[in-house]
Amino acid sequence: MPDETVRSASYTVSCEDYVHVVEFSPFDCGSPASLLAYGGNQYVVVGTCRFKEEDTEVEDVEFTSLQVFLHGVRVDAIAWSPETRLDKLPPVIRFCTAAADRKVRLWTSDLQNNCDVKVMEGHTSYINHLVFEPAEGKQIASVSDDHTCRVWNLDGNETISFRLRSPGVSVCWHPEDICKLMVAEKKGTIRFYDLVTQHAILSLDSGQVPLMSADWCLTNTIKVGAVVANDWVIWDITRSSYPLEKRPAHVDKARHFRWSRANENLFATTGYPGKINSQLLVHHLGHPQPVMIGSASVGAGLSWHRTLPLCVIGGDRKLFFWMTEM
């Protein structure tokens, strides 16, 4: 019997180069299409996606490139600003990148002739993740192998720095309370910081290492998930600092954990790229086994669509999209 959960990608989009990171915008940009950015060795491409699940006139997926930003150095992380709007005249595209040269860059474009780049320097090692403050987009937080989490303003100035006890791997902002920031560390600890007092107010312990990626469920903020070693782990932050649930996920180490934005019980994990393929698993908290297994040629990055149960990973000259039937 073939395993019905093993699926090839629902849709693919061809790219010019290897894709290191890919991010759907989590914010309403004033367009029926979804904004998507992906980064490679030298560039960032910003475009819009429409899927047949949203528009019956679309055959599978319709990707329209809006602008290619020459980056000059490998892109390691991308974060969207809530200020990005396609329904303004002129439109506003704003996003941040972390790069292999340990710098954060803030990009602002009107998709015409004006493109402004601010470079933020301060991290002394590899930057693993970054995020915009989600209400107004006036601050950016980044975490690094240099054992710091830093908060920046849009002028490029560092306003807050938290000293971590191990490399910072993920950072998430509370969707309503902009004074609360979640920072995950490689040694298995997740801390929540109050940005007013600049103190940790809560910590979670995974009980094992290395923690490679964590995410805050923004549709139900009592849930936090992560991948640690080969396992995924889930916390209910109102009940315990230790995981509520834990399951083995990937034979080799797990790499990414992301909650779906369409369903608070749905999340995806990826394994480390093997010699040929990378494994994507989609899990549902009500099911003991993954509800979908996908494979991509040496994939990188992981992101969920804002409203559909659809996720994307990058690969060699391709974007791979999987729709989850729920």
CA angle, residues 151, 88, 49, in degrees to nearest 5: 80
* Domains of the chain, each with CATH number or no CATH: 9-321 (2.130.10.10)
Given a contact cutoff of 8 angstroms between Cβ atoms, the answer to whether 102 and 126 are in contact is yes
Q: Is the pLDDT of residue 56 over 90?
A: no
More confident residue, 300 or 87: 87
For residues 182 and 175, the answer to whether their CB atoms sit within 8 Å is no
Query: Are the C-beta atoms of residues 317 and 18 closer than 8 Å to each other?
Result: yes
What's the predicted TM-score (pTM) here?
Answer: 0.96
CA dist 294 and 280 (Å) reads 5
Res 1: pLDDT? 34
Quick one: pLDDT band at residue 313, thresholds 50, 70, 90? very high
Q: What pLDDT, in 10s, does the model give residues 74-112?
A: 999 999 999 999 999 999 999 999 999 999 999 999 999
Average pLDDT value over all residues in the chain: 94
Structure tokens at 248: 């083995």
By percentage, how much of the chain surpasses pLDDT 70? 97
What's 92's DSSP letter? B
Predicted confidence at residue 295, as pLDDT, reads 84
pLDDT at 4: 61
Q: Comparing 55 with 306, which gets the higher pLDDT? A: 306
Tell whether the model's pLDDT for residue 275 goes beyond 70.
Answer: no
Cα–Cα distance measured from residue 147 to residue 159, given in angstroms and rounded to the nearest whole number: 17
Sheet holding 139-144, edge to edge: 127-132, 139-144, 148-153, 158-163
Q: What pLDDT, on a 0 to 100 scale, did the predictor assign at position 64?
A: 97
Rounded to an integer, what distance in angstroms lies between the CA atom of residue 303 and that of residue 23?
A: 5
Cβ neighbours around 277 below 10 Å, total: 15
